[in-house]
């Protein structure tokens, strides 16, 4: 499928709970994960959509999904991430 057809025309938001969210840190700043790779089974979401990781009402990660591939997504939050820079 051409890349243009695999990206969203209108941005959607994928909301997940921090307590059950698993990810791998690809880049970090000051101990916080700024670029992450995470399992993404829901085919409704594409590159260009937003990932929002919440703990209650606290935002731990709010970033753009830049790539989806082989059941994983890669997202970045270069300024406001509160996710620890570890492999979960």
Q: Are 47 and 66 in contact (CB under 8 A)?
A: yes
For residues 76 and 9, what is the distance between their CA atoms, to the nearest angstrom? 20
* Confidence band for 11, pLDDT divided at 50, 70 and 90: confident
Give the chain's mean pLDDT. Answer: 87
Taking CA atoms, 74 is separated from 18, 47, 49, 56, in Å, by 16, 9, 11, 23
- Using the predicted structure, report yes or no on whether residue 60 has a pLDDT greater than 80: yes
pTM comes to 0.83
Q: Are 49 and 62 in contact (CB under 8 A)?
A: no
Q: What percent of the chain has pLDDT over 70?
A: 88
Tell me: the pLDDT tens digits for 70-81?
999 999 999 889
Residue with tokens 């057809």: 5
> Hey, what domains does the chain have and what are their CATH numbers?
3-76 (2.40.240)
The residues, ordered by sequence, that sit 6+ positions from 43 with a Cβ below 8 Å of its Cβ are none
């Amino acid at each position: 499928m051409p890349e243009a057809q695999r990206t969203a025309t209108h941005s959607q938001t994928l909301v997940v709970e921090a307590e059950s969210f698993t990810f791998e840190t690809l880049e970090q700043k000051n101990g916080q994960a700024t670029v992450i790779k995470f399992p993404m089974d829901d085919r409704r979401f594409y590159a260009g959509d937003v990932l929002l990781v919440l703990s209650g009402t606290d935002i731990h990660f709010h970033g753009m999904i830049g790539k989806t591939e082989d059941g994983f997504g890669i997202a970045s939050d270069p300024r406001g991430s509160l996710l620890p820079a570890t492999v979960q």
